[in-house]
Chains A and B, each alone.
Chain A
Amino acid sequence: MSAVPTSSPLQARRHRLRGRLGDLGLHGLTLAAALACLVLVGAIVWKILALSGDSFDRFGLGFVTGRAWDPVKHVFGALPFIYGTAVSSLVALVLATPLAIAIGLYLSELAPRGVRGIVGSLVELLAAIPSVVLGLWGILVLGPFLAHHVEPSLHSALGFIPLFGDPQQTGQGLFTAAVILTIMIVPIVASISRELFLGVPRELEEGALALGATRWEMVRGVILPATRSGVAAAVILGLGRAVGEAIAVTQVIGGGTRIGWSLFPPADTLASKIASNYQGAGSGLEISSLLYLAAILLVLGLIANLVAQVIVRRFDPLRGARS
């Protein structure tokens, strides 16, 4: 190592000045970038609320419970789409959560080292499939398969439950949309869960095993309780994704305003309704009503995100264990 060259006081000051300018510049740039986000969110929210004003003036909050969507009679309501969004997202969550947790556990606790990398990347590749491609696959493969095999057997085995009504012939419907959403959510929740499980201190796992617990008992008694808030937040982030997904859902959900128990018939979600109707909207009021749907969607998305953040901050059982 060579000695540090001695510099004159003037040089030192110049360096310091440059350094300070750099600091100022960095501060300014990063602040501007952060503020830009805030401004953008504000601008989007404001514009959407402003443009949905016509519809809001006409239908008020009754829009939320309105069941009709009739461009000819100029009557619009959001309930069928709220229903479609809620049902498709919830079904997707119910299917995706156990699957994703199982994948996360396998990758973090059970899989041999070599397998971890390969399967882990495959799971993440699943997240990389563009949703429109997934939607095409849904139309061509998944939908017909569900319609001809899964839905009939669910109906014949569990038909007494109103959820499993008569199967569809086309494969277009709520259930197909829910399964597509499941495929989209699983990689997100699985990779977040894996990180959470890996974050459980090794000492805790060893503590459980040293008491004579099996791996399953350790997972159930220590790992899952210690990570449940994080996993819940991951699931809600997945929910946010499911609620907002437009393209793939539009491709497979079929469209319609039916509200009923059965999961199989065609329907629409908020997002798919906006995506499929905006281009062909016939009147200003219809466009405004679509923006009203967008506003509802926006609120749902923000709520999901906030809830996830609150859960992570408030209910982390490991808060005291990490330091």
Chain B
Amino acid sequence: MTEGITMTPVIEVAQARKDAEPVQRDIVFDIQKLTASYGKEPAISDVDLEIYRNVITAVIGPSGCGKSTFIRCLNRMNDLVPGAKIDGKILYQGDDLYASGVDPVEVRRRIGMVFQKANPFPKSIYDNVAWGPRVLGMRKDLDERVEKALRGAALWDEVKDRLKKNALSLSGGQQQRLCIARAIAVEPDVLLLDEPASALDPIATSAIEELMDELKRDYTLVIVTHNMQQAARVADMTAFFSLDVDEGRRTGVLVEYDETAKIFTNPSDKRTEDYVTGRFG
């Protein structure tokens, strides 16, 4: 896995994935004509996308193309940004996420998120993982739940003897896996990862990538990454976003969405090809 961090033989990886393609796919998110704006300027415009269950979907594209904005629409994190506005529809398992009766708190409980910068609470390792379950009233068998989450995040063996230690004493990669453990401790359906490895060294990155491969058995994963090799390595589906510059306005648009193998070997859009071959971005 680690050698993959150097220039990946993208084609080989992609070829291997193509053979192992599942046939039938459940749709978790059905995104229709999504436009998200901060103030008057749309950050992304007219995005149509279906995200499938138990699959890793990568969102790639150059800086500022709205990747993070897009993923933050999926669990209504953008509600917290003053002036943020959503048009279009996001159906989550058939229900409109932005319908009037929907409680964003409940949305976020089902659709967990891991951020670019590891953000453990200034508490013990145990309390970090137990925090979500406690808040949500899942107090039964808390110890088991914490252990299961830490095992799920491939962190248990490293921390089992120092669960009472402050989480900030962990290394960056461990902190990020702790954040993943914290997110899965509340048993969400979906895990959104916003550049989870961008601040990590190659070894910690590959640990996270291996972990994602494990996690997709139980969860639907959506990962934003600026690292194309990472997308090629981990993702089943890849969405390529780019910037549309129109009369000085820069808006993120979805250029192409397909199986990862296709995006990296035989993209149908010229812009995708330019990007994945490293001609810009």
Residues of A with Cβ closer than 8 Å to B? 113, 201, 203-204, 206-214, 217, 221-222, 225-226, 317-318, 320-321
The reply to whether A201 and B105 form a contact with Cβ atoms under 8 Å apart is no
- Chain B residue numbers with a CB within 8 Å of A213 are 105, 132, 135
A212 to B136, CA, bound (A): 8
Query: How distant is B149 from chain A, measured CB to nearest CB, in Å?
Result: 12
Say how far A254's CB is from chain B's closest CB, in angstroms.
46
Rounded to whole angstroms, the CA-CA distance of A152 and B13 in the bound complex is 81
CA distance A50 to B58 in the complex (A): 77
B108 touches A210 (CB 8 A): yes
User: Considering the chains assembled together, what is the distance between the CA atoms of A170 and B112 in angstroms?
Assistant: 61
What's the Cα separation between A318 and B109 when bound, in Å?
Answer: 26
Pairwise interchain contact B77-A321, C-beta atoms closer than 8 A: no
Q: Which residues of B contact A217 (CB under 8 A)?
A: 135
A212 and B115 within 8 A (CB): no
Contact B122–A210 (Cβ < 8 Å): no
Q: Which chain B residue shows the least CB distance to A210?
A: B113
- Residues of chain B within 8 A (CB-CB) of A317 are 122-123
A211:B77 contact, CB within 8 angstroms: no
Pairs across A and B, CB under 8 Å, 13 listed: A203-B115, A206-B80, A208-B121, A210-B108, A210-B115, A211-B108, A211-B132, A212-B106, A213-B135, A217-B135, A221-B135, A222-B121, A318-B122
Q: B residues within 8 A CB of A201?
A: 119
Decide if A226 touches B179 in the complex (CB within 8 Å). no
Of all chain A residues, the one with the shortest Cβ separation from B169 is A320
Q: A317-B122, A320-B122 are in contact. Are A212 and B168 (CB under 8 A)?
A: no
Total contacts A-B at CB 8 Å = 74
Flag if A321 contacts B183 (CB, 8 Å).
no
- Bound form: Cα–Cα A321–B123 in Å: 11
Asked if residues B122 and A203 are in contact (CB atoms below 8 Å), the reply is: no
Is B37 part of the binding interface, using a Cβ–Cβ cutoff of 8 Å? no
B54 within 8 A of A: no
Cβ-closest chain A residue relative to B182: A211
- A212-B109, A212-B135, A217-B135 given; A207·B119 CB < 8 A: yes
Q: Chain A residues with Cβ under 8 A from B135's Cβ? A: 211-213, 217, 221
Looking at the assembled complex, report how far the CB atom of B133 sits from the nearest CB atom of chain A, in whole angstroms.
9
Cα(A318)–Cα(B166), bound, Å = 11
| Chain B residues closer than 8 Å to A203, beta-carbon distance | 115, 117, 119
Contact A321 B122 (CB under 8 A): yes
Can you list, as one digit per residue, whether each of B75-102 has a CB less than 8 Å from chain A (1) or not (0)?
1010010100000000000000000000
Contacts of A204 in B (CB 8 A): 119, 121-122
Q: How many residues in B have their beta carbons less than 8 Å from beta carbons of A?
A: 29
B168 touches A321 (CB 8 A): yes
A210–B121 touching, CB < 8 Å: no
Contact B121 A211 (CB under 8 A): no
Contact A206 B77, beta carbon cutoff 8 Å: yes
Residues of B167-215 at the interface with A, using a CB-CB cut-off of 8 Å, are: 168-169, 179, 182-183, 186
Q: Does B131 lie at the interface of the complex (its beta carbon under 8 Å from any beta carbon of A)?
A: yes
C-alpha spacing A64/B186, complex, angstroms = 58
How distant is the Cα of A226 from the Cα of B108 in the complex, in angstroms? 23
Known: A203-B115, A320-B169. A210 touches B131 (CB 8 A): no
Contacts of A113 in B (CB 8 A): 82
**5 cross-chain pairs, A with B, having the tightest CB-CB distances, nearest first:** A212-B109, A320-B168, A203-B119, A211-B132, A210-B113
CB contact under 8 A between A210 and B77, given known A204-B121, A318-B122, A320-B122: yes
**CA distance in complex: A214, B115 (Å):** 18
Assembled-state Cα–Cα distance A221/B141 (Å) = 20
A113 to chain B, nearest CB (A): 6
Contacts A211-B109, A320-B169; A206 near B115 (Cβ below 8 A): yes
Check A209 against B186 for contact (C-beta < 8 Å).
no
- Contact among B112, B166, B168 with A211 in the assembled complex (CB-CB below 8 Å): B112
Nearest B-chain residue to A321, judged by Cβ: B122
In the bound complex, how far is the Cα of B179 from the Cα of A163, in angstroms? 49
B 140-151 binary contact with A (CB < 8 Å = 1; else 0)? 000000000000
B210 to chain A, nearest CB (A): 23
Among B77, B106, B119, find the residue whose CB has the most chain A CB atoms closer than 10 A: B119
B174 CB to nearest A CB, Å: 14
| Docked-complex contact B123 and A211, CB < 8 angstroms | no
* Seed contacts A221-B121, A320-B166; 20 additional CB < 8 Å A-B pairs: A201-B119, A203-B115, A203-B119, A206-B80, A206-B113, A206-B115, A207-B120, A209-B77, A210-B75, A210-B112, A210-B113, A210-B183, A211-B132, A211-B136, A211-B183, A212-B108, A212-B109, A317-B122, A320-B168, A320-B169
**Residues in A neighbouring B120, C-beta threshold 8 A:** 207
- A321 CB contacts on chain B under 8 angstroms: 122, 168
> Which residues of the other chain, A, contact B119 by a CB distance below 8 angstroms?
201, 203-204, 206-207
Contact with A along B104-130 (1 / 0, CB 8 A): 011011101101010111110000000
In the complex, A201→B179 CA distance in Å? 15
Bound: A134/B110 CA distance, A: 53
Q: Is the CB of B105 within 8 A of A214?
A: yes
The answer on a CB contact under 8 Å between A209 and B108 is yes
Minimum CB–CB distance for B180 against chain A, Å: 12
Are B186 and A207 in contact (CB-based, < 8 A)?
A: no
**B122 x A221 contact (CB < 8 A):** no
Cβ-defined contact, B122 with A212, below 8 A: no
The residue on B at minimum CB distance from A226 is B122
